[in-house]
Amino acid sequence: MIVGCMAMVLAIFFSGCSSDAVVQKKTAAPPAKEVTNVGTEPKQSVDNSASYNQIASYMEEESKKAFSPYYELLEFTLSDYEEKTVDGKVKATFGYQVKYKNFKKDPNTVDYIKAAKEKNDPNYQLLYDEYLQLKEMNFHLKAVIEDTDSITLYTNVSPKGIQWEKAVMSDFILKK
């Protein structure tokens, strides 16, 4: 009985120490600097540098301008933030996430869902169910602060590697 319990404890211990976990520990980056804002109230701010806060505020404001006509915006998160100063310009790269959902209304009043229902589309129920669920947009961005009032935003357009292209948040809205 005791030997069986000891074997079970050892099995649980060793399953928690898989080779994947060891590799992750060797390659893990330092903890991400992250800020999360819900609406306008800061939840957490790990890095209080002026440029970090300036970029976080800029990103939230630009996201609201671009996406609030289409979605209810719930949360804005900067992660994996790295910055350096080159020739007097602050250059920061970071992950950016916006959590959002569609405005609350009956999904059957939305044109594409209504059309799917009328056509007996097999995806109708999926579209209906997903309509009010929480969703997220994720970006890999670079911001360059040239002076205290000017931020230029770039997005990584390369599926492999890094290729920065100038962007504004409204570039991420699909247009017909």
Taking the CA atoms of 14, 15, 16 and 18 in sequence, report the sign of the dihedral they define.
positive
Q: Where are the alpha helices (DSSP H) in the chain?
A: 2-15, 19-27, 50-67, 111-118, 124-130
pLDDT of residue 129: 94
pLDDT of residue 174: 84
Instruction: List Cβ neighbours of 73 (8 Å cut-off, separation of 6 or more).
Output: 63, 64, 67, 98, 99, 100
Q: What is the pLDDT along the chain (176 residues), one digit of tens a residue?
A: 333 333 333 333 333 333 222 222 222 333 334 444 444 333 333 356 889 999 999 999 999 999 999 999 999 999 999 999 988 899 999 999 999 999 999 999 999 999 999 999 999 999 999 998 999 999 999 999 987 778 999 999 998 999 999 999 999 998 76
